[in-house]
Amino acid sequence: MSCRCAPFYWVDFSVLLLSLANGACAASAPAAATPVCTAQAEGFLNARLAIWQQRMNLEEWKISIEISHPADLKPRTLGNIHWDTNKKAAVIRVLNASDYQVSCREALSDMELTVVHELVHLELSSLPRSQASRREEEFAVNRIAGALIQLDRQKTPANAGLVTGAGLPARGAKDDEAEPSRSRAADPAATGW
């Protein structure tokens, strides 16, 4: 299992990037995701999951998404994945949009990135793992997921309104990782399934 972790500085950094890109003042605080956004998130993520499963040739897997609150995740994480290779089944937990302190568009964008991040872990699940390789795997997963999202947002007109992954810090850390990763994780520790 893996998890995607959030840093203390994530919101401020993303607001700064968005403000600079829009020519707006970087001091303004983003609006939090609304209940309407929270209600739309599950449908949006399931639609995007279907697209990413097809793109990553993971269609033989039965993958579901569970919208989760921080109490259901390890501290400062944005999501995780649990899989059963024999059953070809997986569950991806993603932080609820209502728990983000950013706009709905930014929350949905980041939630999709969490899904892609966890799908990359699933794709790599057949590789041998060791405690020593966890940090390197997480670094690679962060880079791959970020590149996939960035390419998708550059090329897909339907996603033109979503925040791009360009220049954003890398994603979280692996389970049971004892030291901080090279990602944006403030506390990468998480337990396995």
Secondary structure, 3-state, 132-158: HHHHHHHHHHHHHHHHHHHHHHHHCHH
Report the length, in residues, of the chain: 193
Distance CA 183, CA 4 (A): 9
For residues 60 and 88, the answer to whether their CB atoms sit within 8 Å is yes
pLDDT, tens digit, 9 for 90 and up, residues 20-45: 344 433 344 556 677 889 889 999 99
The mean predicted confidence, pLDDT, of the chain is 74
Q: How many domains does the chain have?
A: 1
Which residue, among 106, 127, 165, has the nearest Cα to 2 in the 3D structure?
A: 127
Within-domain flag for 178: no
Buried-exposed string 131-159: b where 16+ CB fall within 10 A, e elsewhere: eeebbebbbebbebbbebbbebbeeeeeb
> How many CB atoms are closer than 10 A to CB 116?
26
Q: Tokens for 65, please give them.
A: 């998404």
Give the pLDDT of residue 156. Answer: 58
pLDDT band at 65 (very low <50, low <70, confident <90, very high): very high
Residue numbers of the domain that contains 14: 2-159
Within-domain flag for 45: yes
Within-domain flag for 103: yes
pTM for this structure? 0.68
Could you give the strand order of the β-sheet that contains 89-95, starting from the edge strand earlier in sequence?
2-5, 77-84, 89-95, 62-68
Within-domain flag for 52: yes
pLDDT, tens digit, 9 for 90 and up, residues 123-153: 999 998 888 888 899 899 999 999 999 999 9
Within-domain flag for 83: yes
Q: Which residue has the higher pLDDT, 120 or 156?
A: 120
